[in-house]
Amino acid sequence: MAGPVQRGLAASGFILNRNKEEYVKKSAMVLVCVLLLTCWAQAQPSDPDAPAGDTSATPASATSAAPAEQQSAPATAQPPADQQSPPPATQPASQAPAQTGQPNISAPPELPKYPDVRMPGEAGFWVGISGSEPTNSPIFDKGRASGITTSSLITFQGRPKLGESAEIGFAIGLHNALVVSGFNTRAAGDFTSATTLTMWSQAYDPGVLISTNYHLQELKLSFEYLTWPYPVESRHFRLKTLWQVQYVNVNTGFDAPLLPVTGPSGGPLIGANGTPVSYQVNGARWFLTPTLGLGATEYLSKFVRLELNGSGFALPRRWTIWDTEGSINFRFGHFELGGGARAFHFKTSTNGPYYIRGTLIVPQVSLRWYSK
């Protein structure tokens, strides 16, 4: 009896074990299918235009099942006229530009551009000449290194001859200019000395007729820089700073024309040093210096211009110079006629044996030709 029972129990246990194995296999297969479906769903791209909560996707079979006439419809078919196009979809928050945290600073507006009005003479180049009749005369005197005890102070004699001036100018940039000008004058005359005088190491006794002459030359390079107003717009006034270099040279000569220089026989007189006697002596003084100044111009109209310039520089015991001039000018086409006056002062170094100084007042008339 026990044998059949044991065999029955063994058979039922085998069946239970077999059913358990099949259950485990089926559960594993279901789990694998679920994992694969989950991975496939996550790999599908999301549609931002789809309504919220709609996660269904159109199967491929649905497209194949569409009628052939719908598939063959042209892609360029337009919607009916009374059908309104859907409003543009708003950009999802996930696609909005990232905020950097910095404030939105707008650039300042550009400055307005003002018209640049150039008056006659502020473009191209020009040349000019002028004539003047200087007044006053330079003075000659001994310096600190002369080493003589007699006087050397004299005023050059004679009325100065017609002064001659010339200039050439170039417009540079906006209302600036580079000008090169020159001036020269000369005079000669006689006087009788009241005391013993010594000039350029030549002594003259009292009562002797002494002839004097001088030749003054001045050369100036000037850069005229517009300082005010800026921007010029259509204003008629100009204030310029003057940056200059000036060269001054004075040649002088003295003689005693009435003193004899020949002997009774007609031959030259021989002095104690064995050379022919001569009372003529010459000498010169010069200096080169920078000068600074201001210039003002007022355009009363397109054809009338007022101008005033002044500059100077001084180095104690070396040299002193100042120069100022004013004029009124009238324009006729390319030409300009001007009239005015100039005051010019100079003094050479007083540390040498002799020096020269003078202040000339120069009334003058000028004529200019402008290229533009």
Which tens digit of pLDDT belongs to each residue from 282-292?
Answer: 999 999 999 99
**Structure confidence by residue, pLDDT tens digits, 140-181:** 999 999 989 999 999 999 988 888 999 999 999 888 999 999
Stretch 81-89: mean pLDDT, rounded? 51
How many domains are contained in the chain? 1
Residue 215 lies in a domain: yes
pLDDT at site 101: 58
pLDDT greater than 50 at residue 126: yes
The three-state DSSP-derived secondary structure of the chain is: CHHHHHHHHHHHHHHHHHHHHHHHHHHHHHHHHHHHHHHHHHHCCCCCCCCCCCCCCCCHHHHHCCCHHHHCCCCCCCCCCCCCCCCCCCCCHHHCCCCCCCCCCCCCCCCCCCCCCCCCCCCCEEEEEEEECCECCCEEEECCCCCCCCECCEECCCCCCCEEEEEEEEEECCCEEEEEEEEEEEEEEEEECCCCEEECCEEECCCCEEEEEEEEEEEEEEEEEEEECCCCCCCCEEEEEEEEEEEEEEEEEEECCCCCCECCCCCECECCCCCECCCCEEEEEEEEEEEEEEEEEEECCCCEEEEEEEEEEEECCCEEEEEEEEEEEEEECCEEEEEEEEEEEEECCCCCCEEEEEEEEEEEEEEEEECC
Read off the tokens for 47: 């549609």
Report the percentage of the chain scoring pLDDT > 70: 74
Lowest mean per-residue pLDDT among 18-22, 141-145, 299-303: 18-22
Residue 177 lies in a domain: yes
Residue 270 lies in a domain: no
Residue 209 lies in a domain: yes
Residue 224 lies in a domain: yes
Stretch 205-224: mean pLDDT, rounded? 96
Q: Residue 239 belongs to a domain with what CATH number?
A: 2.40.128.90
Tell me the C-alpha distance between 208 and 90, whole Å: 115
pLDDT at site 272: 75
Confidence band of 65 (pLDDT split at 50, 70, 90): very low
Stretch 247-265: mean pLDDT, rounded? 91
Residue 322 lies in a domain: yes
Stretch 70-85: mean pLDDT, rounded? 47
pLDDT at site 106: 73
Residue 37 lies in a domain: no
Residue 212 lies in a domain: yes
Lowest mean per-residue pLDDT among 40-44, 90-94, 314-318, 352-356: 90-94
pLDDT at site 269: 81
Stretch 319-332: mean pLDDT, rounded? 96
Tell me the C-alpha distance between 37 and 31, whole Å: 10
241 or 10, which is more confident: 241
Taking the whole predicted model, whether its pTM rises above 0.75 is answered as: no
Confidence band of 116 (pLDDT split at 50, 70, 90): confident
Q: Which domain holds residue 282?
A: 125-259+277-370
CA angle at residue 331 from 328 to 334, to 5 degrees?
140
pLDDT at site 41: 65
Lowest mean per-residue pLDDT among 88-92, 210-214, 350-354: 88-92
pLDDT at site 72: 45
